[in-house]
Structure 1
Amino acid sequence: MFNILLPVIPGIQHLESLKELHGFALRALEFVDFDPVDEDLLWSAIATCYASLGSLRDASQLFARVRLKTTLLCMSMISSFLDCGAVEEEFEEAFSLFDRMLRQGFKPNSVTFIALLSACNHAALLNACRIHGNAELAEVAAKKLIELEPQHSAYFVLLSNIYADASRWNDVRHVRAPMKYGA
């Protein structure tokens, strides 16, 4: 049944219409057991639509209520926060959610990094990690960035500074050595 709704959701242009559909889906779940994959797709589509209509609050409330937080739903929320990234709180919430995903054992894939990188430029991503003291996330992001653009020494410098801020001096030496000796 939810398969019928999925193509309709992205075309919804009024918040009240989306809220009605969301309410219908919640009521339907009370009476029928749906395939978890279908349910995941539905919640992800509704959350994304809420965000596209400018209601991150509704998207966040939906996310908070869903019991099983899958990679798809988490990525929908991260993309939603970053798409609305004009506000610093949403930017921070996206990275906080990504960090929680990593701690819960989710394995990021290329889609995960594309969602993160497409919403902000590469240096801003690393700088956000530096500002928030998240050396682990910076390390993951930097390795991907260095794979994509190894000629940009700024990524090495910023990663080195992040390690220094975290007092990870062996890592600082490891990052700076190739720069120092031209390797």
Structure 2
Amino acid sequence: MRHRVKGRKFNRTESHRKALMQALATSLFRHKRIKTTLAKAKEARSFAETLITKARRNDLHSRRQVISALQDKNAANELFGDILQKVGDRPGGYTRVVKLGNRKGDAAEMAILELVDYNEVIRAKEEEKKEQKEVKKAKKKEKEEPEVEDAKVVEESAEEKPKKKGRKKKEEESSEEKPKKKSAAKKKKEEKPEEKPKKKSTKKKKG
């Protein structure tokens, strides 16, 4: 029976679980929001909140305890600096877990773990990202419009070229018809010399 056994094992060794919690907590203190599975988010929540309650004492001993737990001085400085100023007055409940649904592939339950007092900061960052995406899309459209116009010009020129060839064909047909008229005139000339010898035969012979 699992009496008085705290925490999830995650099918990992003790050192691996410790490293996992350290990584999740440091990324939470740096980015103020992380996306992970629901089970990991619940475990990381308890681990991070114990560190925040220790940091509220704000003395040398608590700082050393947090650094030894995180193994990252930059994350500890972030916790004792900006985070502690916003969270210092709270008696607890520094983080929240928001469920996202199942992940594609293995259908694991996903969730967001975030610090409570950083909604405005996170929303401002998201709005900045959206504005940057809109600017990029507008630039792409501006680049694509001249390319489309060039393609239309090329298509129009390609359509005009066959028309010129049609004119050439008409000229060739007219040139073929002209020699036929000449052949009729030649026939008349050929018939006339045949009649002349007949007139000579009508003349009387001398002597």
RCO comparison, higher one (Cα < 8 Å, 6+)? 2
**TM-score bracket relative to the smaller structure:** under 0.3
> Larger Rg: 1 or 2?
2
- Of Structure 1 and Structure 2, which has the larger fraction of its residues in strand? 2
TM-score in terms of structure 1 length:
0.24
